[in-house]
Amino acid sequence: MNSNIVQAQALFISVLSAYLVVAYSAGANLTRYQVTFISIIFLLITSLGAIGQLRNVQVMTEWAYQAVALSGGESVVSDAQAATSKWLFIAIRVALTFGALVFMWQVRHPKTE
């Protein structure tokens, strides 16, 4: 499960980087339809990836709880810590995704000084 989480993070960084490269290199020359299309695809891929990641983290947390219970030990991670980790993960993903969309906007609508 940990390997799946790491692989999904790498995939997210790849998709984010690809979107930023397109925005920087071709964003100003794309039509409104083209920008809308790639931005919607970007949002769908990042949203599906985040949902999958949250599920992976949830499963891994449940397995960790079960492993601790089977060994007779005490859990070192509380429910509050697990929830905080999930919300932090979501916040970072949203910030990076929103930042990429703003970057595209700025490339397409440069300030003239």
Distance CA 74, CA 90 (A): 28
Q: Does some domain include residue 92?
A: yes
Confidence (pTM): 0.80
Q: Does some domain include residue 21?
A: yes
Q: Does some domain include residue 51?
A: yes
Which amino acid, one-letter code, is at 46?
A: T
Q: Does some domain include residue 65?
A: yes
Asked if residue 19 lies in contact with residue 43, where contact means CB atoms within 8 angstroms, the answer is no
Q: Tens-of-pLDDT digits for all 113 residues of the chain?
A: 778 888 888 999 999 999 999 999 999 899 999 999 999 999 999 999 989 888 888 888 888 778 877 888 776 667 777 788 888 888 999 999 999 999 999 999 888 76
State how many domains the chain has: 1
At residue 98, the pLDDT reads: 96
Which amino acid, one-letter code, is at 53?
A: Q
Rounded to 5°, the CA angle 82-88-12 comes to 110
Q: Does some domain include residue 26?
A: yes
At residue 75, the pLDDT reads: 67
Distance CA 113, CA 41 (A): 33
Range of the domain at 75: 2-108
Tokens of 42: 């970007």
Q: Does some domain include residue 113?
A: no
Q: Does some domain include residue 50?
A: yes
At residue 62, the pLDDT reads: 82
Asked if residue 53 lies in contact with residue 89, where contact means CB atoms within 8 angstroms, the answer is yes
At residue 2, the pLDDT reads: 77
Residue 109 phi, psi (nearest 5): -130, 70
